[in-house]
Amino acid sequence: MPSPSSCPQDKEAERLLTALKSGSREVKREALRRLALLAPDLTFAGEVINQDGLEHLGAIIEDGDDLGEVLAHGLRAFSELMEHGVVSWETLSSNLVKKVGLGRQGGGMGQGDQASAARGMLGLFHSILQVVSYVNMNLMDASVPQLALGLLESLALSSPPLGQLVKQEVPLERLLVHLQVLNQPLQTKAMALLTALLQNASFAERQAMLDYLGQRNLRQFIYKNIIHSPVPLGDEMAHHLYVLQVLTLGLLEPRMRTPLDPYNQEQREQLQALRQAAFEPDGESQGSGLSADRRRSICAREFRKLGFSNSNPAQDLERAPPGLLALDNMLYFSSHAPSAYSRFVLENSSREDKHECPFARGSIQLTVLLCELLRIGEPCSETAQDFSPMFFGQDNSFQELFCVCIQLLNKTWKEMRATQEDFDKVMQVVREQLTRTLALKPTSLELFRTKVNTLSYSEVLRLRQTERMHQEGTMAPPVLELRERLKPELLGLIRHQRLLRLCEGTLFRKISSRRRQDKAWFCCLSPNYKMLQYGDVEEGAPQPSPESLPDKLPVAEMRALLLGKDCPHVREKGSGKQNKDVCELAFSVSYDAGGKAAYLNFIAPSKREFCLWTDGLSALLGVAMGSEQMRMELEMLLAMETKLRLLELENVPIPDQPPPVPPPPTNYNFCYDCSIAEP
């Protein structure tokens, strides 16, 4: 990266920090503006940090004398310096404790535990919290509360003790106020801090927080004013909504992993309530004069009619997952949709035994299926954005979804005319119906119900057949030989397309040590395929022209393409589960820089962009393209070209072996002599 200043960076840092001590507001404002502009440069940031720049900025933020442009530039500069990860929040907290006199006299931190350091850090952010509370008074630059919330998010994510103290200082009521402001950047920062606090909380605290947010109608507000806002939803907000959905559904995990206890009186009563809701007239009203053995026999028969595999239903629910979550779903369906529940049970009771759709067995397997599709119990991805809008449009969304799906199971069972032996096949069809419908991201449960019911068994078969026709290829040796002959030409076509895509360029995100994706840079290939051109771009700025990009990398100096865990910027981040998503999108180009190996590091915005760029770079390096996207496109082109070449042979069987060549004739007397002139 080029030097941010014409003078040496240490001198520039010293000059700006000296200007911060000036009593003139204009001088201080200009110094902070310049500092915020240069702070993204790592070398310059290191010089500022070495000269106690963070402490100077902390003092300006803590004073809070100017709630306008000075504070905004100060917060922005502070945030940019911390983004480099040179100084951790805990270390900075310790230094600030000493700086503001919260530690013991004579240097030293006394006990020096992390909680004391955290209190010192929150002393610094006391003025930020005041700024946040003034956001509705329009007393300052609108960027101030956004920057303050961003810093608090970083602080909350840095460690659990700091997160707990942020939670104490920032009430949920205040975050709800920010979410209701019709300012999308401010909403995004408030949502980011909210999800950070939820992730940092224990299970009991998270449940209490989500209950409180539910009482304050957070879900309804998100559904009406954020998801259905006229302003398009940004990637960062989509990610935070995904996290909120995962955390909300994660509250079901303990029930999912808890098997039914046959000795638990409450759980036994719930099973009996489920049976009585379907068979009350036949069982209880006529059983008063029956013996105990006769009543047990009736109960066992009715539980079998409900679809339990064992006469003792507790044995069916001892497996976890789905554990008690399956029982909860069945009870919810029986109590909130009693007519549909009775119709389901009675309808199947009137069929032959082998054609009955087992309600209990289906509910158990369906609960397992929904937990898999919705990834309940899995940790949050750091980059995913695939939230389902319908989960914010309905209270008790998981249970309501189950009510729709259990009726879908019965409908599909009848369409397939299934028997007990076909249970697994029916569940496979239901899985495909749910997967296809969820992929459409319906915005409401009613829309989901409409779409999934439209996707009947015959429609699933038609879609399967269509996909099979697109994917299948004739396996006869002559056709395989034809495909091999076509491959080089089609690979050249794909290679040309990849290079053209690189010439168009892509906007990449920079991810810091806390996975914040606030910065972007643009990279493209020159039209003559000889130079990679790249440089930083401002958020929301139009796509830059290749001539305006300051940095260039000659293709001739490129040496190798590294993927995934082999990339240096991935190795530096560790190998935890949370690094998996970033690892799958990471790639690097190694090149010579003054006789030393250097790297240009990328993190693709999507899997498709990852495939396009790695293929294009492989083509530039002269190595084979190997991405999944390339293989899929090559297969599609081969299938299409083969069918075109064989179009005239439709309905003509192609033999596996070529026809035999007949033996040569015994003589060639039949040959016509062209030298003899005809009379």
Backbone phi and psi for residue 407, each to the nearest 5 degrees, phi listed first: -75, -30
The answer to the question of residue 192 being in a domain is yes
3-state SS of 149-194 is HHHHHHHHHHCHHHHHHHHHHCCHHHHHHHHCCCCHHHHHHHHHHH
Which pLDDT does position 555 carry in this prediction? 92
Q: What whole-number distance in Å separates Cα of residue 294 and Cα of residue 297?
A: 5
Q: Of 415, 437, 468, at which residue does a domain stop?
A: 468
Instruction: Give the pLDDT band (50/70/90) at residue 95.
Output: very low
The answer to the question of residue 440 being in a domain is yes
Q: Same structural domain for residues 412 and 512?
A: no
Where are the alpha helices (H) located in 540-679, listed in sequence order? Answer: 568-571, 580-584, 607-621, 628-645
Q: What whole-number distance in Å separates Cα of residue 208 and Cα of residue 224?
A: 24
Which pLDDT does position 128 carry in this prediction? 42
Domain residue limits at 623: 486-632
Which pLDDT does position 573 carry in this prediction? 62
What is the residue-averaged pLDDT of the chain? Answer: 80
Higher pLDDT, 101 or 464: 464
Q: Same structural domain for residues 226 and 264?
A: no
Residues 544-598 pLDDT 10s: 888 888 899 999 999 999 998 888 887 766 555 556 778 888 999 999 887 788 8
Which pLDDT does position 25 carry in this prediction? 72
Q: What whole-number distance in Å separates Cα of residue 23 and Cα of residue 613?
A: 52
The answer to the question of residue 240 being in a domain is no
Q: What whole-number distance in Å separates Cα of residue 413 and Cα of residue 155?
A: 53
Question: What mean pLDDT do residues 256-282 have?
Answer: 86
Cis upstream peptide for 322 (omega within 30°)? yes
Which pLDDT does position 285 carry in this prediction? 46
Q: Is-contact 366 566, C-beta < 8 A?
A: no
Pairing of the two strands 519-525 and 531-537? antiparallel
Question: What mean pLDDT do residues 81-88 have?
Answer: 71
Q: What whole-number distance in Å separates Cα of residue 448 and Cα of residue 443?
A: 8
Q: Same structural domain for residues 393 and 340?
A: yes
Structure tokens at 337: 């949709």
Q: Which residues pair with 532 in a beta bridge?
A: 525, 553
Q: What whole-number distance in Å separates Cα of residue 297 and Cα of residue 649?
A: 68
Q: Same structural domain for residues 439 and 533?
A: no
Q: Of 617, 632, 647, at which residue does a domain stop?
A: 632
Distance of CA 669 to the CA centre of its chain: 80
Higher pLDDT, 173 or 53: 173
The CA-atom distances, in angstroms, between 100 and each of 3, 161, 166, 191 are 34, 20, 19, 31
Instruction: Give the pLDDT band (50/70/90) at residue 304.
Output: confident
Q: Same structural domain for residues 121 and 191?
A: yes
The answer to the question of residue 640 being in a domain is no
Strands of the sheet with 531-537, listed across from one edge: 506-510, 519-525, 531-537, 551-554
Q: What angle do CA 451, 452, 456 make, to 5 degrees?
A: 110
Which pLDDT does position 453 carry in this prediction? 93
Q: Same structural domain for residues 260 and 128?
A: no
Least confident of 200-204, 209-213, 653-657: 653-657
Q: What residues contact residue 197 under an 8 Å CB cut-off, 6+ apart?
A: 156, 163, 166, 167, 170, 209
Q: Same structural domain for residues 171 and 274?
A: no
Question: What mean pLDDT do residues 179-204 have?
Answer: 87
When divided into structural domains, the chain yields a total of: 3
Q: Same structural domain for residues 407 and 551?
A: no
Which pLDDT does position 464 carry in this prediction? 85
SS3 at position 54: helix
Q: Same structural domain for residues 371 and 496?
A: no
The answer to the question of residue 2 being in a domain is no
Closest CA to 127 of 173, 71, 187: 71
Cis upstream peptide for 550 (omega within 30°)? no
Can you give the C-alpha Rg of the chain in angstroms? 34
Higher pLDDT, 117 or 165: 165
Q: Which residues pair with 534 in a beta bridge?
A: 523, 551
> For position 575, which CATH number holds?
2.30.29.30
Which pLDDT does position 307 carry in this prediction? 87
Closest CA to 406 of 377, 426, 386: 426
Residue by residue, DSSP assigns 337-362 as SHHHHHHHHHHHHTS-GGG---HHHH
Which pLDDT does position 20 carry in this prediction? 73
Angle between helices 203-215 and 172-179 (to 10 degrees): 50
Residues 175-187 pLDDT 10s: 888 788 778 888 8
Instruction: Give the pLDDT band (50/70/90) at residue 107.
Output: very low
Instruction: Give the pLDDT band (50/70/90) at residue 462.
Output: confident
Closest CA to 154 of 124, 184, 111, 109: 124
* Percentage of residues in the chain having pLDDT higher than 90: 34
Q: Of 434, 468, 502, at which residue does a domain stop?
A: 468
Which pLDDT does position 575 carry in this prediction? 55
Q: Which residues pair with 510 in a beta bridge?
A: 519
Backbone phi and psi for residue 561, each to the nearest 5 degrees, phi listed first: -115, 125
Q: What whole-number distance in Å separates Cα of residue 200 and Cα of residue 180?
A: 23
Range with top average pLDDT, 59-68, 539-548, 556-565: 556-565
Q: Same structural domain for residues 409 and 498?
A: no
Closest CA to 371 of 482, 257, 450, 280: 257
The answer to the question of residue 661 being in a domain is no
Higher pLDDT, 26 or 491: 491
Closest CA to 521 of 537, 506, 532: 537
Q: Same structural domain for residues 448 and 513?
A: no
Q: What residues contact residue 282 under an 8 Å CB cut-off, 6+ apart?
A: 298, 302
Predicted confidence (pLDDT) at residue 102 exceeds the cutoff of 80: no
The answer to the question of residue 473 being in a domain is no
Predicted confidence (pLDDT) at residue 76 exceeds the cutoff of 90: no
Question: What mean pLDDT do residues 597-617 have?
Answer: 91
> For position 146, which CATH number holds?
1.25.10
Q: Same structural domain for residues 617 and 537?
A: yes
Residue listed under structure tokens 């697109």:
470
The answer to the question of residue 237 being in a domain is no
Residues 308-356 pLDDT 10s: 888 788 888 888 888 999 999 999 999 999 999 999 988 888 777 778 8
